[in-house]
Amino acid sequence: MKIRHILPSIAAFLLVSTASFADDGMWLPSLISQRIADMQAKGFKLTAEDIYSVNQASLKDAVVLFGSGCTGEIVSKDGLLLTNHHCGYSQIQQHSSVEHDYLKDGFWAMRRSEELPNPGLTVKFLDRMEDVTGIILKGCQETMTEAQRDSLVRANSSALMKQATAEGKGLRASVEAMYYGNQYYLFVYREFSDVRLVGAPPSSIGKFGGDTDNWMWPRHTGDFSMFRVYADKNNEPVAYSEDNVPYQPKRFLKISTKGVKEGDFTFVYGFPGSTQEYIHSKAVAYTAEISDPVKIDLRTRRLDIQKKYMSASQAVRIQYSSKNASVSNAWKKWQGEAKGLIRNDIVTKKADYEKRFEAWAHGTRYEGITTKLGRLYDELEKYSLAVDYYSETAYTTEIASFANRWVSMASREVSTLDEIMKLLDDIKALESSFFKDYYLPIDKESFIAVMNVFEKDMAQDMKPAWYLEQLASYGSVEAWAEEIFSKSIFRSPASCEEAVRTVEPIVAAGLGTTLKEGTMDKALEFFKADPAYQFYTNMYKWYTTDIYPRRTELNREITLLMRDYMNGQMEFEPHKDFFPDANLTLRVAYGNVGGYSPKDGVWYNPVSTLKGIIEKDNPEIFDYNIPQTLRDIYADGIAKGGAAAEKVKNQPVCFLATNHTTGGNSGSPVINADGELIGLNFDRVWEGTMSDLAFDPSFCRNITLDIRYLLFLVKEIGGAQWLIDEMLGN
Ligand code: ARG
Ligand code: GLU
């Protein structure tokens, strides 16, 4: 009995001592058996098969890719799903109006029939993943160029994906490169498209602290929303229908209300989007010293303009809330990232590493690789900068991208009257979804602000010729803006309608039993001459002809070298475990609950409480103005004194842990040593946002919403006891 107990721990000890296990890493679930000894050493009590199994239901069956960039988890046998408030934000916004402002007031379905459908929203369950490197690289030769290799890899991948999705409803597949293409994995998902909104707290809770607290600790955000996955009568994925029934998952997460304390084991199971942990010092320098500052400056200007109009009108506030949140989120993250990279001297550290690497690589096939990479990054810089400018200026002009979408839709092949009528309907739908959230003064002022920066800061020889001509003819960005925003067809629903009426005679003249060849082209000429459309197309053309090809070529060469450099790093440090960079595939990150020191003389505790919310509460400050109900609950508890007072004060809200996470991990389940759900991941700390490029376990922390705060809110603020029963009664 005793010996059986001791043997595995000796084995675990041996494993731990041969490989140097660090806290960082986002590990592939199918290979988690390689990490399980370390996980167990840190406190985990379950097995690798509990995390990922192809033979039986495992924790992976309760985790989903929510939408296109968040994670969610299933918490009941009836497909109830939890994710972040900011992940469900655009759905909550879509259902909101000035009369029913769910963003402001929250939303709680009190029965299943009140749950709200969300066209376009999907969730994906991972069915299986497998190493398919051999299949994908079949036919690849050393002598091939990177472009030739790329196209072969693409062809092999699509054949494999086709095969993988042939059987079964809702199957989706993707092949993803790991370690810069040293390995390839096939991921097969089941995608569900009837996903309904069940509940969301008011933004004053779900987004408490707003952009002031975003990316920071101490944090007190109730960042969650609830959805439910629906299926057909056979439990298969199907499009929305009233007759659909709640999906019965293979596995759902059991909730633990036991709580956490410093040192407790935790793991995050989710879909981290993108990291670059193994890149060259020059790439880090570009991010920290050039790219982040440029993008921050451009976004500051747009955010100021949005803020001005949003605070002046509730309607505009609703219209731009989702857009504003996403613009400001990256804006703030870049600030923390650039600061962290500089403060921690990451460029120098990477450069030192490269020196040591080269000393080791002397005489091997890796010799000189970092120098070659450095040269490529030097050449890449002006292209990267052009992309940064383009994507944060011209590309952000809403009216221009709408014009482009409008014209592409109208370019659809039509010949019969029925088809023409259908097209007109689709165009109307496109217009109403665009104008619902469009406020021209914001777009116009932003255009003027960012295009003036483009004019001033962009290298003259990198500017598009078309742009220079136009600017010269208008005389100023302001005059150009006048032309676009007061004359464009695409400036209002009325002007769109009028323009359609103008071309009606052209279409009518070309319409017999079918439409005469070329009729639509003639009608479209009118729209294509539009100044907003012209702006979009010509700037885009510049991007695709002058910037994109050379940049892609350079990036290909970089990837090719990185593939070797990756192998080289693995040989250089044979005892280190290298996880593949995040690429929006399912990963396991694990660590322990823990505080950190943000600066000299300061220690941050890893747990925040309701008391802290009350301390921050201030009706005068938008980000800190909590609902009166929450104030009342707190005051009631305090008034009762004794245990009741202690209870409200110590109501847990958020906690910190050392799990290595990134964007995409939002909404990820945070799981305890027993495999139970203890919270929802939703952010990282300011000092640690540099972790996408360089994770440092001494201060990089993920922020989790404590599941006990979620339960408290559903009950006390939502009054939705039925959901509590569903979550805890399983
Ligand atoms: N920083 C978190 C993430 O990257 C939360 C963002 C939503 N909150 C906000 N205030 N914009 O997604
Ligand atoms: N809030 C982020 C998201 O949307 C997660 C935080 C992070 O980047 O770590 O995925």
- Nearest-atom number in ligand 2 for the CA of 71 is 10
pLDDT tens sequence across 633-677: 999 999 999 999 999 999 999 999 999 999 999 999 999 999 999
pLDDT above 90 for 14: no
Long-range contacts of the stretch 297-300 (C-beta < 8 A, 24+) = 297/453, 298/389, 298/392, 298/393, 298/450, 298/453, 299/327, 299/328, 299/330, 299/331, 299/392, 300/331
What is the spatial distance between Cα 123 and Cα 674, in angstroms, rounded to a whole number? 26
Q: Checking phi first, is residue 518 left (phi over 0); if not, alpha (psi -120 to 50) or beta?
A: left
**Alpha carbon of residue 658 to chain centroid:** 20
Average pLDDT in the 551-559 region? Answer: 95
pLDDT above 90 for 210: yes
Q: Do the beta carbons of residue 523 and residue 407 sit within 8 Å?
A: no
684 lines ligand 2 (CB under 6 A): yes
CA dihedral 673→674→679→680, nearest 10 degrees, is: 90
Using CB atoms within 10 Å of the CB of residue 237, give its burial: 0 to 12 exposed, 13 to 18 middle, 19+ buried. Answer: buried
Average pLDDT in the 178-199 region? Answer: 97
- Nearest-atom number in ligand 1 for the CA of 326 is 11
- Nearest-atom number in ligand 1 for the CA of 663 is 4
Sequence letter at residue 85: H
Q: What is the DSSP code string of 512-565? A: SSSB-TTHHHHHHHHHHT-HHHHHHHHHHHHIIIIIHHHHHHHHHHHHHHHHHH
Q: Which two tokens stand for residue 552?
A: 């892609």
What is the spatial distance between Cα 485 and Cα 468, in angstroms, rounded to a whole number? 19
The two beta strands, 669-671 and 587-592, are: unpaired
**Is it true that the peptide bond before 218 is cis, omega within 30 degrees of 0?**
yes
pLDDT above 70 for 483: yes
User: Binning pLDDT at 50, 70 and 90, where does residue 22 land?
Assistant: low
Cα(665) to ligand 1 centroid in Å equals 11
Cα(173) to ligand 1 centroid in Å equals 29
Total Cβ atoms within 10 A of residue 335: 19
Helix residue ranges per DSSP H, 216-345:
281-285, 292-312, 314-343
- For the CA of 662, the nearest ligand: 2
Element holding 629 (H helix, E strand) = helix 628-640
pLDDT above 80 for 4: no
Q: Which two tokens stand for residue 316?
A: 């505009």
Cα(483) to ligand 1 centroid in Å equals 36
What is the predicted pLDDT for the residue at 168?
87
User: Binning pLDDT at 50, 70 and 90, where does residue 272 land?
Assistant: very high
Secondary structure of 57-122 in the HEC alphabet? Answer: CCHHHHEEEECCCEEEEECCCCCEEEECCCCCHHHHHHCCCCCCCHHHHCEECCCHHHCEECCCCC
What is the spatial distance between Cα 488 and Cα 530, in angstroms, rounded to a whole number? 6
pLDDT tens sequence across 685-704: 999 999 999 999 999 999 99
- CA distances to 98, 118, 222, 351, 715 from 108, rounded to whole Å, are 17, 15, 15, 53, 11
663 lines ligand 2 (CB under 6 A): yes
- Nearest-atom number in ligand 1 for the CA of 89 is 7
What is the predicted pLDDT for the residue at 729?
87
Q: Which two tokens stand for residue 436?
A: 């619902």
User: Binning pLDDT at 50, 70 and 90, where does residue 142 land?
Assistant: confident
Q: Do the beta carbons of residue 62 and residue 74 sit within 8 Å?
A: yes
What is the predicted pLDDT for the residue at 116?
98
Element holding 590 (H helix, E strand) = strand 587-592
What is the spatial distance between Cα 651 and Cα 262, in angstroms, rounded to a whole number? 16
210 lines ligand 1 (CB under 6 A): yes
Residue with CA nearest ligand 2 atom 9: 662
Q: Which two tokens stand for residue 218?
A: 């101490």
665 lines ligand 2 (CB under 6 A): yes
What is the spatial distance between Cα 286 and Cα 555, in angstroms, rounded to a whole number? 15
What is the predicted pLDDT for the residue at 531?
98
Total Cβ atoms within 10 A of residue 729: 9
What is the spatial distance between Cα 70 and Cα 629, in angstroms, rounded to a whole number? 30
pLDDT above 50 for 16: no
pLDDT tens sequence across 50-95: 999 999 999 999 999 999 999 999 999 999 999 999 999 999 999 9
Total Cβ atoms within 10 A of residue 581: 21
User: Binning pLDDT at 50, 70 and 90, where does residue 167 land?
Assistant: confident
683 lines ligand 2 (CB under 6 A): yes
Q: Which two tokens stand for residue 443?
A: 């777009």
CA nearest to 339, candidates 690, 597, 696: 690
Cα(328) to ligand 1 centroid in Å equals 8
Please tell me whether residue 497 adopts helix, strand or coil conformation: helix
Cα(70) to ligand 1 centroid in Å equals 11
For 145, how many CA atoms within 13 A lie in the half-sphere containing its CB? 6
- For the CA of 661, the nearest ligand: 2
DSSP structural state of residue 411: T
- For the CA of 272, the nearest ligand: 2
User: Binning pLDDT at 50, 70 and 90, where does residue 13 land?
Assistant: very low
User: Binning pLDDT at 50, 70 and 90, where does residue 443 land?
Assistant: very high
What is the predicted pLDDT for the residue at 644?
97
CA nearest to 49, candidates 29, 23, 27: 29
- Nearest-atom number in ligand 1 for the CA of 666 is 12
The two beta strands, 652-657 and 265-270, are: unpaired
Average pLDDT in the 538-551 region? Answer: 96
Sequence letter at residue 567: N
User: How does the average pLDDT of the chain come out, rounded?
Assistant: 95
- For the CA of 206, the nearest ligand: 1
Q: Which two tokens stand for residue 647?
A: 């209870």
pLDDT tens sequence across 336-370: 999 999 999 999 999 999 999 999 999 999 999 99
Average pLDDT in the 283-287 region? Answer: 98
What is the spatial distance between Cα 550 and Cα 269, in angstroms, rounded to a whole number? 38
The two beta strands, 80-83 and 107-108, are: unpaired
661 lines ligand 2 (CB under 6 A): yes
Cα(694) to ligand 1 centroid in Å equals 20
Cα(297) to ligand 2 centroid in Å equals 22
What is the spatial distance between Cα 410 and Cα 441, in angstroms, rounded to a whole number? 26
Candidate from 221, 276, 681, 693 with most ligand 2 atoms within 8 A of CB, to mutate: 681
Q: Checking phi first, is residue 642 left (phi over 0); if not, alpha (psi -120 to 50) or beta?
A: left
Q: Which residue has the tokens 């996470």?
A: 661
What is the predicted pLDDT for the residue at 146?
85
Candidate from 682, 695, 701, 703 with most ligand 2 atoms within 8 A of CB, to mutate: 682
Cα(136) to ligand 2 centroid in Å equals 31
Report the sign of the C-alpha dihedral through residues 340, 343, 344, 346, in that order: positive
pTM assigned to the model = 0.91
**Alpha carbon of residue 273 to chain centroid:** 6
- Nearest-atom number in ligand 2 for the CA of 661 is 9
Q: Which two tokens stand for residue 513?
A: 């039993």
328 lines ligand 1 (CB under 6 A): yes
- For the CA of 666, the nearest ligand: 2
DSSP structural state of residue 692: G
247-251, 323-327, 442-446: range with lowest mean pLDDT: 323-327
Q: Do the beta carbons of residue 470 and residue 455 sit within 8 Å?
A: no
**Alpha carbon of residue 374 to chain centroid:** 29
What is the predicted pLDDT for the residue at 347?
98
What is the spatial distance between Cα 479 and Cα 326, in angstroms, rounded to a whole number? 29
pLDDT above 90 for 1: no
Q: Which residues are known to be catalytic?
A: 86, 223, 666
What is the predicted pLDDT for the residue at 730?
60
Please tell me whether residue 294 adopts helix, strand or coil conformation: helix
pLDDT above 80 for 21: no
Q: What percent of the chain has pLDDT over 90?
A: 93
